[in-house]
Amino acid sequence: MLIPSLQLLFGLLVLVVGGEATVKGSLILAKQLRLSPALAGVAIVGFGTSAPELFLSLQAAWKGSGGLAAGNILGSNIANVWLIGGIIVLFSHLNNKQQAKQPSTLHAVAAGSALLTLAAFAYNASIPSTWGAALLVPFILYTYLALKEATQEQTRQQHGKKLSRNGIKHGTLLALVGLVLMLLGSEEVVAGGQAIAERLGVPETLIGLSILALGTSLPEVVATLVAIRRKALALATGGIFGSTIFNSWLILPLCAILLPLNVRENIPDLLLAPVAFALFLVGSKSHRRARLALGCACVLCYILYWGFLVARI
């Protein structure tokens, strides 16, 4: 147990360093490219911090571990919304100047639609390869609309100023280094946690829903905490939307194409995710006093969700 525990602690340390670099680089890029922090959160933090889910889930599907792949992605979605979203809503209450700002309606609608789309598969308890390919269509459409929005935002904020190439290079390098460090750190955390769980005899699907899901969501958690410290909640909120869309409309479909997924054991998770997202949205739009209660409710729901996972062993 000692070596896996040390591996887990080392991974957490690397994650913190990577999270600091990613958020700082993202804010620099947002300023240099004339993008809002919220949009930078969707594009850089959201998609970038989903890299662990992408690599681990595709690897699991390639090796025939469909339960591990599906559990990792679906569990990550719930962690994104209830745990990370709850933290954002809570801290927006503590500092009224830091409102839980959201990206444009496009990203909120896309994230909610992505979760509802996956919930529809609870009826047949499976995601065939053909449906996996079909889910790539809304992702392509969303990407086109997001790029169009980014272009329009840049045009509105130009004001005759030239882009700083050095600033863009610096921000890009910092963000990339941070993302790589978070990827490496999350891999160490997941490997350590998985080794501990396997020694305790925990089932594969439950490992995917709990250890891997929380472990691969750690980059988002760390990036969120760093963004809060830097008073950039909009960046963190955008990260939730981007990560949810990326997980649901790209990573899971790719896994389903490689290996048709049986999600019978994941039906509760498929149905819980849209509920979690709705609670987060209500909390982020509520009055300051209500945000305290709803933020606590989100975090408490995630704790209860873990209790539910333990009960399923």
Q: Tens digits of per-residue pLDDT, 272-303?
A: 999 999 988 888 877 777 888 888 899 899 88
Q: Tens digits of per-residue pLDDT, 79-114?
A: 888 888 888 888 876 655 545 456 778 888 999 999
Mean pLDDT across 137-142: 93
Alpha-helical runs (H) found in the chain? 2-32, 37-40, 47-48, 51-62, 66-78, 85-94, 105-119, 129-134, 136-156, 165-199, 204-207, 213-229, 233-246, 252-258, 267-285, 288-311
Q: Tens digits of per-residue pLDDT, 38-62?
A: 777 787 777 777 776 777 777 777 8
Q: How does DSSP classify residue 35?
A: -
Short-list 302, 261, 239, CA closest to 107: 239
Q: Give the Å distances, CA to CA, from 123 to 111, 118, 245.
A: 21, 10, 21
The mean predicted confidence, pLDDT, of the chain is 78
Q: Give the Å distances, CA to CA, from 163 to 151, 152, 154, 157.
A: 14, 16, 11, 11
Residue predicted with more confidence, 227 or 73: 73
Short-list 208, 221, 186, 226, CA closest to 265: 208
Q: Which domains, ranges and CATH numbers included, belong to the chain?
A: 46-160+201-311 (1.20.1420.30)
Q: Which residues contact 193 (CB under 8 A, 6 or more apart)?
A: 4, 8, 211, 212, 214, 215
> Amino acid letter at 222?
V
**Cα–Cα distance measured from residue 85 to residue 233, given in angstroms and rounded to the nearest whole number:** 10
**Cα–Cα distance measured from residue 58 to residue 70, given in angstroms and rounded to the nearest whole number:** 10
Q: Which tokens go with 223?
A: 């990036």
Q: Phi and psi for 126 in degrees, rounded to 5?
A: -160, 155
Task: Give the Cβ contact number of residue 185 at 10 Å.
Answer: 25
pLDDT at 100: 47
Query: For residue 68, is pLDDT > 70?
Result: yes
